[in-house]
Amino acid sequence: MENAQVDQLTDFEVNLIQASSGKRFANYIIDVLIFYAFIFCCGFVFAIVDTNPDDHNEVALVIGSIKGRLIVLLFYGIFMGLIEGIFRGKTLGKLITGTRVVNEDGSRINFQSAFLRGLSRSVPFEAFSALGAPSYPWHDKWTKTLVIDERQSTLP
Q: Grade residue 1 by pLDDT with cuts at 50, 70 and 90.
A: very low
Q: pLDDT of 3-62, one tens digit each?
A: 555 555 555 677 888 888 889 899 999 999 999 999 888 878 877 776 666 655 565 555
Separation between Cα atoms, residue 98 and residue 129, nearest integer Å: 22
Q: pLDDT of 93-104, one tens digit each?
A: 999 999 999 998
| Res 108 pLDDT > 60 | yes
Separation between Cα atoms, residue 28 and residue 33, nearest integer Å: 9
Q: Break the chain down into helix, strand, coil percent, rounded to 5.
A: 60, 10, 30
Judge contact between 127 and 28, C-beta under 8 A. Answer: yes
**Could you give phi then psi for residue 52, rounded to 5 degrees?**
-105, 100
* Residue 39, SS3 per DSSP: helix
Q: pLDDT of 66-103, one tens digit each?
A: 777 788 888 888 899 899 999 988 999 999 999 999 99
Q: How many other C-beta atoms can be found within 10 angstroms of the C-beta atom of residue 110?
A: 13
How far, CA to CA in Å, does 132 sit from each of 25, 128, 137, 141? 11, 9, 9, 14
Burial class (CB in 10 A: 0-12, 13-18, 19+), 88: middle
Judge contact between 77 and 115, C-beta under 8 A. Answer: no
How much is the pTM? 0.77
